[in-house]
Amino acid sequence: MPEHKRPSLTPPVRGAEPESYAHDALTAPIVQTATYTFRDTAALVAYMEGREEREEYGRYGNPTVRLLEDRVAMLEGAEDAVAFSSGMAAVTSAILALTKAGDHVVLFSDCYRRTRQFVTTFLGRFGVEHTLVPPADVAALEAALRPETKLVVSEAPTNPYLTVVDLPAVSALCRPRRIRTLIDATFATPINLNPVDHGIDLILHSATKYLSGHNDVLAGVIAGKAGLVSLIRDVRHMMGAVCDPHAAFLVLRGIKTLALRVAQHNISATAIAEALEGHPRIRRVWYPSLASHPSHTVATRLMRGFGGVVTFELDGDMAATSAFVDRLRIPRIAPSLGGVESLVEQPALMSYFELTTEAREAVGIKDSLVRYAVGIEEPDELIADLMQALGAVS
Ligand SMILES: Cc1ncc(COP(=O)(O)O)c(C=O)c1O
């Protein structure tokens, strides 16, 4: 594990909480209302003139959602945050908020398929051009920058190969050119990485994953500079992809144990990566703690831990890989990651199913690739399960 100081365990539990909640409740109430009432027209005018800070309508704000936003901002060391109905609502709203016709966006290519789809097939409709650059390739980023470039987007670590771009180098290229930087740090969590510390403007989380942590809610959050967050919040007001107050409550509840869960994800995934590397039925393992990982040095410099996803390639074809996945007894076959339950997927049969083997390989996804989202079950049992499944397909 890298030798960074671990963040305090207190903010995930208590961060940004008010002195008391209604009825002196211990936990944040779910304020389940679509709108808010005004005592009289004078109260309305006071609010309209900005003399009173309060809620007006559910699409513009909600106290439960606001607490989630404040807590994530605190965990990220950011000025402000805004929550959405899903991670993709956050991704699309942020990119739409920060670009206009004639602008250019650079995206590091190893990323969640829908983010890539939005940038490469959808943004063009609004006159926004894009360039895809290879993961973590800062020289390629520099070569891709144009006078019209307004935004650089990357995941850190990326999905599924866990590449970590040199964030200070990205910031050093973008800041002087007034190009905004957006890092999807879903795989890292604020426990393992704070991109703000490395000069990044905006940090995005699919809160569906580690922040909520229990595979039972969809949500997204973006944290960063107050002015930029405000632009993105404005887009949310128009597009309407608000975080539901009950979802915000579930994410807040999940965040209370985030540090504990992530500590276990880090330990278990490291042990699994080490157990898999060198196994005769495994061709290659991707996990940043391994010296063989292309981002090992950068990740060790920037991150406090590497999270719960281990990606590996079986020494076999599509059928052998499916047989291996089917033999696993603990992880369930499902998309997603970041929850207490281990999940496994063969991307060729999930996110990339509609592509041919050749088309998949063109985007770097082999038929024998497996993405293992390590939960918080007993690591020795997870490893024994992997070994029995590998033994069965030998
Ligand atoms: C890195 C990353 N970002 C964003 C998303 C989208 O999040 P959501 O499913 O909450 O819309 C995902 C989903 O898998 C993801 O893995």
Sheet with 180-184, side-by-side order of all strands: 80-84, 220-224, 202-206, 180-184, 149-155, 104-108, 129-133
Residue 278 CA, ligand 1 centroid: distance in Å: 31
The DSSP secondary structure of 274-308, one letter per residue, reads: HHHTT-TTEEEEE-TTSTTSTTHHHHHHH-S---S
Cis ω on the peptide bond leading into residue 347 (within 30° of 0)? no
- In eight-state DSSP terms, residue 52 is S
C-alpha of 327 from chain center: 29
In the chain, DSSP finds a helix count (H) and a strand count (E) of 15, 12
Judge if the beta carbon of residue 208 lies within 6 A of ligand 1. yes
CA gap 333, 5 in Å, rounded: 35
Residue 311 β-bridge partners:
286, 371
pLDDT (tens digit, 9 = 90+) per residue, 161-214? 999 999 999 999 999 999 999 999 999 999 999 999 999 999 999 999 999 999
Q: Among 159, 164, 204, 212, which residue has the most ligand 1 atoms within 8 Å of its CB, making it the best to mutate?
A: 159
**Parallel/antiparallel/unpaired status of strands 309-314 and 369-373:** antiparallel
Evaluate whether 266 touches 306 at the Cβ level (below 8 Å).
yes
Nearest to 95 by CA among 62, 139, 128: 128
Of all protein residues, the one whose alpha carbon is nearest to atom 15 of ligand 1 is: 112
Question: Within 10 Å of residue 74's Cβ, how many Cβ atoms?
Answer: 17
Question: Within 10 Å of residue 35's Cβ, how many Cβ atoms?
Answer: 10
pLDDT at residue 1, as a whole number = 67
Write down the CATH superfamily of domain 258-392: Aspartate Aminotransferase, domain 1 (3.90.1150.10)
Residue 51 CA, ligand 1 centroid: distance in Å: 38
Q: CATH classification of 10-256 is 3.90.76.10, yes or no?
A: no
pLDDT at residue 260, as a whole number = 97
Name 178's Cβ contacts closer than 8 Å, sequence gap at least 6: none
Where does residue 350 rank: exposed (0-12), middle (13-18), buried (19+ CB within 10 A)? middle
Judge if the beta carbon of residue 186 lies within 6 A of ligand 1. yes
CA gap 288, 272 in Å, rounded: 12
Q: Which atom of ligand 1 is nearest to the CA of 208?
A: 10
Q: Is the dihedral of CA 69, 250, 28, 256 positive or negative?
A: negative
CA gap 45, 55 in Å, rounded: 13
Tokens at 248, concatenated:
């915000």
Encode 66-131 in three state secondary structure.
HHHHHHHHHHHCCCEEEEECCHHHHHHHHHHHHCCCCCEEEEECCCCHHHHHHHHHHHHHHCCEEE
Q: Among 116, 202, 208, which residue has the most ligand 1 atoms within 8 Å of its CB, making it the best to mutate?
A: 208
Q: Which amino acid is at 69?
A: E
pLDDT at residue 188, as a whole number = 98
Q: Which amino acid is at 111?
A: C
The set of catalytic residues is 59, 112, 184, 209
Where does residue 34 rank: exposed (0-12), middle (13-18), buried (19+ CB within 10 A)? exposed
Q: Is 362 helix (H, G, I), strand (E, B) or coil?
A: helix
pLDDT (tens digit, 9 = 90+) per residue, 206-218? 999 999 999 999 9
10-256 against 258-392: fold identical: no
Q: Where are the domains of the chain?
A: 10-256, 258-392
Question: Within 10 Å of residue 33's Cβ, how many Cβ atoms?
Answer: 13
Judge if the beta carbon of residue 85 lies within 6 A of ligand 1. no
Reading phi first (left if > 0) and then psi (alpha if -120 to 50, else beta), residue 126 is in alpha
Global confidence as pTM: 0.97
Residue 344 β-bridge partners:
333, 372
Of all protein residues, the one whose alpha carbon is nearest to atom 14 of ligand 1 is: 336
pLDDT tens for the 394 residues of the chain, in order: 677 888 999 999 999 999 999 999 999 999 999 999 999 999 999 999 999 999 999 999 999 999 999 999 999 999 999 999 999 999 999 999 999 999 999 999 999 999 999 999 999 999 999 999 999 999 999 999 999 999 999 999 999 999 999 999 999 999 999 999 999 999 999 999 999 999 999 999 999 999 999 999 999 999 999 999 999 999 999 999 999 999 999 999 999 999 999 999 999 999 999 999 989 999 999 999 999 999 999 999 999 999 999 999 999 999 999 999 999 999 999 999 999 999 999 999 998 888 888 888 888 899 999 999 999 999 999 999 999 999 999 7
pLDDT at residue 359, as a whole number = 85
pLDDT at residue 319, as a whole number = 96
Question: Within 10 Å of residue 127's Cβ, how many Cβ atoms?
Answer: 11
